Chains A and B, each alone.
Chain A
Amino acid sequence: MSRAAAAVGRIDWSLIGLVVLLGTISVVNLHSSSMAAGSEVYLRHLYWLLLGLGVMVGVAAVDYRNLQRLAPPFYATVVVLLALVLVVGKEVNGSRRWLDLGFVGFQPSELAKLAIILTLASWFQRYPRPGGYGLRDVIPVGLLLGVPMFLVLQEPDLGHTLMLMFIGGSMLAFEKFDRRAMVTVLFVGLAAAPLLWQFVLRDYQKDRILTLVDAEADTRGAGWHARQSRVAVGSGGLLGKGHGDGTQVAGGFLPENHTDFVFANLAEEHGFVGGGVVLGIYLLIVLGALRSASLARDKFGGHVAVGVGALVFWHVVMNMGMVLNVLPVTGVTLPLLSYGGTSVLTVMAAMGLLLNINLRRTVF
């Protein structure tokens, strides 16, 4: 069997299938909110998906071990962009998250997630510690993770700050740290939490967290989004109201129904069955990523696969947690389902990384 034939044999068709399925669901779902808004969001989303497929194939084509060398300059570029967005970013609703490229807006914080994944993976590859990582390793890892987190928090974008923390944290959880290091990190984290609440979180962010504690307290202000989302999901019942007949979306009661709350739209119109299917697809993708991690040829590949899995996992948890009213309202998107160019391209690139790692995994 030739190398090429062997490679084709290792293409993860199931992952591609899941991505295409999810993309199709997202276009159909966005068609519904497009009808309500009288726009053609679903078409533009389709174009982004097609472009994303290209990115995915592109990322998968190059041997990922070359990407390892590109990680440091990519990281540096992202940090510069994150700093730049604070200065020249387009201000929307009091925060600067977008770089305006003229024809299209672009969110550096999306790229930061990929940068963190690639950089941490390459750091672990470069500094193997067979006996486990110690306290002195916490500092460089903490800096690599902390700098982009700090910059994203300045935008301010609590959702993405948390995403970076969770993705980084998940990758650390995949490594072995000695007890002393773990205890130290735990204590620093606990000590930092009240300080964060006091000095870093903005009032609206605190409101959103407090709303969770008492969701009915303020149904017009911070609780409004959460309340309407719960009504949309719950009113969907087992089978949903049918495509285009979600009253919460069609009547405009559900805010952000094509981006942050897109899952509420789906759950309203397609019910528990539709929501369960989508949740299942994400589960398969995340488990697939973990499987890739365990089969990867080297430490870098394994860590990248865990990072990609963490990216999808935390996006799904934070977004659905928000939609289902168990987590605060943070503007975290649902991978591929939420409308948004940068988000789609980032996720597709991440899927490309997974395909890449699977292509070059150990042959049994």
Chain B
Amino acid sequence: MSDVFLDSSAVGYQHRVRRLAVAVLVVFGGLLARLAQLQLVNGDELQEAAVRNFVRTVRLPADRGTIKDRHGRALAINRPSFDLYVTPARVEDIDALLSGLRDVLGLDELDLVRLREKVEQPRGMWRHQPFRVAQDIDRQRVALAEALRARVDGISIRVRYSREYPEGVVGAHLVGYLGKPRADELQGENEGRYTAESMLGRFGLERAWEHELAGQDGFERHAVNARGVKQRGGWADRAMSDTVTRQAPERGKDLVLTVDIDVQRILHKALARYESGAAVVVDPRDGSVLGILSKPSFDPNSWSGRLSKEDYRAVADNPYLPMLDKSVHSYFPGSIYKPITALAALEEGVLDAGEPIDSPGSYEYGNRIFHCHKRSGHGAVDLNGAMAASADVYFYKLGERLGIDTQAIYARRFGLGEPSGVGINGDAPGIVPTKAYHDEHTKGGFQHGLALSTAIGQGDVRTSPVQMAMAYAALANGGTVFRPRVVERIETDDREVVQRFEPEVRGDLAATPEHLSAVTKALERAVNDEKLATGHLAGVDYGLIAGKTGTAQVRKIIRGHMRQSVKRFRDRDHAWFAAFAPYESPKVVVVVFLEHGGSGGKEAAPVARQIIEAYHQQIEPIFSTTAANEVRRRR
């Protein structure tokens, strides 16, 4: 070994070779360790990253269920809309493409210059990205575009579904509208359920029944290369072999309502003269809502999608708050609350229906004077007279006899003080004041005078139109308090019933039939009494109806007593009318609420009459011919 090298440092070389060999082994060992780390330790995670590279998931949006009225007529449907796209990478003859699109879409020269730029500018993988040229093109143009597509490469037409509300502003609050999800709705429990492109219910039934209407989006997966081009066969098929490549979307369910579009139209027409208010029509026999409307309205078609600045402004600047559903919002009921006080007094044995009670123009109680709306007073009246003339002092005295907490018990039996169960747009519970309530909320705590104002639906009483409709339905049907039923059934696309909603009883008035009929008789008098009736403008020629006016003060009575029409809108009284018809065998309950509408008798009663007449004429003849004759004979 000594003669390995001719010089004398051979041993040194041997030594250094060994050192280098060790260094090589260490470094290569390090490379092997790193290889093992990536492939054996991080392998699964990086395999997922590789899959994310080549697997593209395309969402298949589920069709939203439709909303139909009781006769199957459309309130919310999906309309296919066609968008035209161009993919730069597929364009072969740009001049042919441009001249073709000019003819089909009616583009001008400037559009064409821009379009050419958009086709020619993208580089690399961007060329494979289709861009939208036209949105929602009409059917005739779709046909022309299809023909062009056959001749020229690079065009594609995509279908998407947009929501359409054929009835527009009529019943907008009931049906609602759709909107894009907010950032927080894309996370949490909805994770994966919605994408930024999804539309979900924002208002009305669309929102309340989102889960049933939305359905379940599906997906389609395929392999793509780095430029995003779909790959088929070979490696792509083998790589996709253990991937679920398609899940069909599950269409949403359809809602069939108890509501009748024609009734909606009647309500819309009847309230046409009024800026702000609500009207509700229910069937007292089962609690079905036949019509429910709030004013002012908005156009759900523009709110579900491309909301223009003007449409938004129109709603945002409207002082009458179009986005508030007044049919389920609570207000002072005023005198339409009086039947509840009357029934309570009869049931508690503190009143006999025939008992005349002195009802002057004011009543001094404690150190306060409680006025009647009629300053001259009504003299001694029984229940029929008091209800007909809406004699306030009569009811103050009933309130005094009952006390506030006993009144509250009966109000709650009518379903007041808690949500009606209609299930849309807030469904306000309203307020049924009690002693404890006032101790908590009123300055100075409960005072006995509050029992008196509560008796005529003032004080702190708040009810919503839909709640009052259900309360009057209970008076009309012999005491059953129903939950207002809006959705009759949920069914599939093929009309297979998924779920049917039977009438739902919330409670019972548990009242003696004689007491109940005394109250309803009084309500009949309130419309038909020839001398006293405050609601006589609601009277119809076809037969007898029962009902009650309400003129709810929103401001303390100012001395001098201005006429309602002269007052500022916000200071005017709420005008109410609640009725059922026909009196003998009630088939409909109508509640009209005109926010700051003035007098119940002058404003709301004629509206209710118009609704009842139209219902009888156009929807269902609820009055018998003999009844009509009877009415005519009596007049």
Q: What residue in chain B is nearest A291 (Cβ atoms)? A: B17
Say if the beta carbon of B73 comes within 8 Å of chain A: no
Query: Shortest CB–CB separation between residue A36 and chain B, in angstroms?
Result: 8
Query: Which one of A233, A251, A293, A326 contacts B225 once the chains associate, using CB atoms below 8 Å?
Result: A251
Query: Which one of B4, B25, B43, B226 contacts A252 once the chains associate, using CB atoms below 8 Å?
Result: B226
Say if the beta carbon of A234 comes within 8 Å of chain B: yes
Say if the beta carbon of A290 comes within 8 Å of chain B: yes
Q: How many interface residues does A have (CB within 8 Å)?
A: 57
A248 touches B31 (CB 8 A): no
Q: Which chain A residues lie closer than 8 Å to B58 at the CB level? A: none
B235 touches A250 (CB 8 A): yes
Interface window among B33-41, B98-106, B273-281, B384-392: B33-41
Say if the beta carbon of B20 comes within 8 Å of chain A: yes
Q: Which chain A residues lie closer than 8 Å to B46 at the CB level? A: 230-231, 233-235
Say if the beta carbon of B93 comes within 8 Å of chain A: no
Q: Which chain B residues lie closer than 8 Å to A173 at the CB level? A: 16, 20
A interface, by DSSP: helix, strand, loop or mixed? helix
Say if the beta carbon of B47 comes within 8 Å of chain A: yes
Q: Which chain B residues (4-27) contact chain A, with CB distance < 8 Å?
A: 4-9, 12-14, 16-17, 20-21, 24-25, 27
Interface window among B49-57, B561-569, B588-596, B616-624: B49-57
B35 touches A275 (CB 8 A): yes
Q: Which chain B residues lie closer than 8 Å to A306 at the CB level? A: 17, 20
Say if the beta carbon of B312 comes within 8 Å of chain A: no
Say if the beta carbon of A267 comes within 8 Å of chain B: yes
Looking at B8, B25, B43, B223, the one whose CB has the most chain A CB atoms below 10 A away is B43
B4 touches A295 (CB 8 A): yes
B13 touches A267 (CB 8 A): no
Say if the beta carbon of A294 comes within 8 Å of chain B: yes
B7 touches A299 (CB 8 A): yes
A317 touches B3 (CB 8 A): no
Say if the beta carbon of A238 comes within 8 Å of chain B: yes
Say if the beta carbon of A108 comes within 8 Å of chain B: no
Interface flags, A123-137, vs B, CB<8A=1, else 0:
000001010000000
Say if the beta carbon of B321 comes within 8 Å of chain A: no
Say if the beta carbon of A2 comes within 8 Å of chain B: no
Query: Shortest CB–CB separation between residue A255 and chain B, in angstroms?
Result: 9
B28 touches A247 (CB 8 A): no
Looking at A238, A252, A271, the one whose CB has the most chain B CB atoms below 10 A away is A252
Query: Shortest CB–CB separation between residue B428 and chain A, in angstroms?
Result: 52
Give A292 to B51 CA distance when docked, in angstroms: 46
B25 touches A271 (CB 8 A): no
Give A326 to B231 CA distance when docked, in angstroms: 33
B239 touches A230 (CB 8 A): no
Give A252 to B20 CA distance when docked, in angstroms: 39
Say if the beta carbon of B224 comes within 8 Å of chain A: yes
Give A229 to B42 CA distance when docked, in angstroms: 13
Query: Shortest CB–CB separation between residue A61 and chain B, in angstroms?
Result: 24
Interface flags, A264-306, vs B, CB<8A=1, else 0:
0001000110011001001100110011011110110010001
Say if the beta carbon of B614 comes within 8 Å of chain A: no
5 additional A-B pairs beyond A237-B40, A286-B24, beta carbons within 8 Å, are A130-B8, A234-B50, A235-B49, A293-B17, A321-B31
**What is the interface of chain B, defined by CB distance below 8 A to chain A?**
3-9, 12-14, 16-17, 20-21, 24-25, 27-28, 31-32, 34-36, 38-40, 42-43, 45-47, 49-51, 53-54, 223-227, 231, 234-236, 238-239
**What is the interface of chain A, defined by CB distance below 8 A to chain B?**
128, 130, 170, 173-174, 176, 228, 230-238, 241-242, 244-248, 250-253, 267, 271-272, 275-276, 279, 282-283, 286-287, 290-291, 293-296, 298-299, 302, 306, 309, 313, 316-317, 320-321, 324-326, 362
* Nearest 10 A/B pairs, CB to CB: A234-B46, A235-B50, A252-B226, A250-B235, A235-B47, A234-B38, A294-B17, A237-B43, A251-B225, A272-B39
20 A–B contacts from the bound complex (CB under 8 Å): A130-B7, A170-B20, A233-B46, A234-B46, A245-B239, A250-B225, A251-B53, A251-B236, A252-B225, A253-B225, A267-B35, A275-B39, A283-B28, A291-B17, A293-B13, A299-B7, A306-B20, A316-B28, A317-B31, A324-B38
